[in-house]
Structure 1
Amino acid sequence: MPSNELAENAARKENENERTAGSPRRRGLLIAAGALLACSGLVGYGMLDTDERPKPRAVPTAEVTYEVTGTGTAEISYLARSEDGTATVEKAVTLPWKKSVRAPLGKTPTVAVVLDGKGGQATCTLAIHGKHVQRATALGEYGRTTCTGASG
């Protein structure tokens, strides 16, 4: 082989060695860049697609005082701070009983009293913002009464 050919072959091998020597580094950089992009995409997706929803606004309320006086034992249902308007029920309450709560505006404050089988006498009263609104009385076995008023 002439020396020119040997020099060309040596130069060609050197170029191939340089290309293959740099190749693993390049591949590593490409893999790292791809992984970084994938992680960034997942983080971005997580930030944009959250399950958090805006919190509902607070419902305005009014101070309501329920009172049941009398004798005997009763079941008492009343409206309190439940935003969906469901009643709170207390069973086997020995009278007298009194409760002050914050009730949502727009819902009618109500206290309902049902005496037990032993009977007795129960009078409910309702006050909204400290102002007396209604009074009603129940008598006898399973006697019932209800007091309601507008809170708005």
Structure 2
Amino acid sequence: MIAAVLLLACGGLVGYGLLDTEDEPEPPATRTAAVTYEVTGDGPAEISYLGRDTDGAATVVRDAELPWKRTVQVPLGQAPTVAVVLGEKGGQAACTLAVRGKHLQSATASGEFGRATCAAGQLPDGG
């Protein structure tokens, strides 16, 4: 008798789990802003930039041929950044950064293993 009650109880819980078709709530969508990164000059160069990842991880492009340009979505609250590093042969490269089409910063790298970084503050909610 006890075994039958336990069997019915277990069956009811399993049935409830199978019949419970309520979807899990979707996590709220991450709001983003369009950011355009551009690097001009003599290449190749190593370029790293912040894209859509909400964890703040950068995307790295090795041996990028210049000129190079990307428009990506960056989560609000993140600071968009693009960095360029020239190789051992040197040269010259310039990076620029624009948020929602508005130019915010530029920088120039030159010489052997020259570096330049363009960054903006955290992206505010601006529509």
Distance 1:108 1:137 in 2: 20
* 1:140 corresponds to which of 111, 120, 126: 111
Structure with the higher fraction of residues in helix conformation: 1
Distance 2:56 2:116 in 1: 20
Say if 2:42 is the partner of 1:71: yes
Q: Alpha carbon RMSD of aligned pairs, Å? A: 2.5
State the TM-score, normalizing by the size of structure 2: 0.82
Residue in 1 aligned with 2:77?
106
Over alpha carbons, which structure has the higher Rg? Answer: 1
Say if 2:48 is the partner of 1:42: no
Compute the displacement of 1:47 (Å): 5.7
Say if 2:88 is the partner of 1:128: no
Compute the displacement of 1:56 (Å): 2.5
State the TM-score, normalizing by the size of structure 1: 0.69
Describe the shift of the 1:35–1:60 C-alpha distance in structure 2 as closer, same or farther (beyond 3 A). same
- The one-letter amino acid paired with 2:85 is V
- The one-letter amino acid paired with 1:42 is V
Q: Please list every run of 5 or more consecutive structure 2 residues that lacks an aligned counterpart in the other structure.
A: none
Aligned pair count?
119
Compute the displacement of 1:44 (Å): 1.7
- 1:3-22 matches, cutoff 5 A: none
Structure 1 stretches (4+) deviating beyond 4 angstroms?
33-38, 45-48
Structure with the higher fraction of residues in strand conformation: 2
Q: Determine helix, strand or coil for the equivalent of 1:92.
A: strand
Identity across matched positions, percent: 53
Distance 1:54 1:85 in 2: 25
Say which structure, 1 or 2, has more relative contact order (CA 8 Å, 6+ apart). 2
Q: Please list every run of 5 or more consecutive structure 1 residues that lacks an aligned counterpart in the other structure.
A: 1-30
